[in-house]
Amino acid sequence: MSHPRTAIRDALVDRLKTKVDDVFPTDAGDKIYGSRSKPLFDQLLPAILVYARNENIVEERFKSDGFGATKRELDIAFEAVVLGGEEVDTALDKIAEQIENAFDGWEMPTRKADVLKLKSTEIDISIDGSKTYGAIRLTYNITYYTE
């Protein structure tokens, strides 16, 4: 059995890869990867990487026998990378809005009790010769429990 983080990450990737009314939720199409280590070449852009950044265990009061569910707060990153020019900021804002819309009010099919909230957004660009690459990372916090 895999760790709940894996199931959560897989569900998030699947949400972004699944067409709604025959249209992908983001401009990245099906170029959504559940790892931070996917090499991204120009022909793969735009693309979105989905990965865990941090997880905290929240102290909970346990039953008198000392056993109970463990409350976890997981930070998941959606890092979108685009190839752009002068309009790179607009492209980043657009894909960020698409990611936010995809998860607004969404419940994970197999983990309905998990709570997903947008926590922060970081934006960066890199210029390599005549090419401009933009990246935007949306970090979501997911609260879930394990036994």
Give the pLDDT confidence of 78-132 residue by residue, as tens digits. Answer: 999 999 888 999 999 999 999 999 999 888 877 777 789 999 999 999 998 889 9
* Domain membership of residue 107 as a residue range: 4-146
- Here the contacts of 86-94 (C-beta below 8 Å, separation 24 or greater) are 88/125, 88/132, 88/133, 88/134, 89/123, 89/134, 91/27, 91/46, 91/134, 92/123, 92/134, 92/135, 92/136, 93/136, 94/27
Measure the CA dihedral 36/135/103/111, to 10°.
10
Q: Whole-model pTM above 0.85?
A: yes
Specify the number of domains making up the chain. Answer: 1
Q: What CATH code is carried by the domain that includes residue 132? A: 3.30.70.1700
Residues of the chain with pLDDT > 70, as a percent, come to 93
Asked if residue 67 has pLDDT above 80, the reply is: no
